[in-house]
Amino acid sequence: MGVIMMLMTICGLIVAGVLLAVAYLTQKDWLRTFVLGGVATWLAGYAILLFIGSFFSVERTLALGEPKEYCGFYFDCHMHTAVIDVRTVKTLGDLTANGEFYIVTVKVSSNAKQASLGMSAVDAHIVDQDGRGYTRDMLAEAQLPPQPEFGKKISPPESFEKEIVFDLPADAKDPRLDMREGYGIDHAIEAVLIGDEDSIMHKRNYFKLQEQNETASVK
C-alpha cells in the first residue's frame, strides 16, 4: 500500500502543479483555492497514515533463512537478504579478536522478473541488548577468502552468499544484525514511505545471530 500511496501522491502533486499554473494564468481564484485545499487535505491524510503505520509497527527478529526486502529509489522492493549461517571464533587468520569474531553469512537474492539488480551502499551493523552498536571489522574480513560485493548484479533465480565479520566483546548480550541499503535519496524517500521499515519512527527488522557451527578458529 505504501508504494501505491507514494505514487498516487507524486502523480497528484504533478497534476496539482499543472492546475495551479492554469489557475494563475487564467486568474481563476476558485480553481487555485480548490487545488491548494485538495493538496493540503491529501498531504495531511498521508501524514496521518504514515505516523499511524509507524506507531503501530512491531519490532521483529528474523530467524535464520528468513528474508528481508529492501525498497529503493524506484520502489521496486525486489532485493532480499537473509542470514543463513553464523560462526563465532577467537582467531581469524593471523588476527585475534578483542572479544569474539562473529562471522555472519548473508545470502543476497532478487525476485525481479527480468532486470539484473544489485544492492547499493549497504550498512550492516550489530546491535546488542543494551543498544550498543558494532560495525564490521574490515581487517578481519580481509582474512577470509575473496568475497563478492553487496552491489553484485544478479537476476532471478540467481543469488550469492557473502561473509561479513564483527568483533564483539564478551559481554555483548543478544546481538542482532541490522541491515540497510541505499544512498541519501533512497533514505529520504523511504522516510516518508508508508509502512517501510526505514520510514519515520518505524520499528526495525533485525536478523537473529544464532551460531550454527562450533569452531575454535578459522585459518
What pLDDT does residue 75 have?
57
**Radius of gyration over alpha carbons of the chain, in Å?**
22
pLDDT the model gives residue 1: 67
* Distance, CA of 67 to CA of 60 (rounded, Å): 12
Res 215: pLDDT: 43
For residue 219, the model assigns a pLDDT of 42
pLDDT score recorded for residue 73: 56
User: How many CA within 13 A on the CB side of residue 54?
Assistant: 17
Rounded to the nearest 10 degrees, the angle between the axes of helix 29-55 and helix 2-26 is 160
DSSP string over 87-132: EEEEEETTEEEEEEEEEEEEEEEE--SS--B---S-EEEEE-TTS-
Supply the pLDDT for residue 217. Answer: 41
What pLDDT sits at residue 113? 79
Question: Please, what are the averages of pLDDT over each run of 10 residues along the chain (219 residues)?
Answer: 83 95 94 95 95 93 91 70 95 94 94 82 94 95 94 88 96 94 82 87 92 50
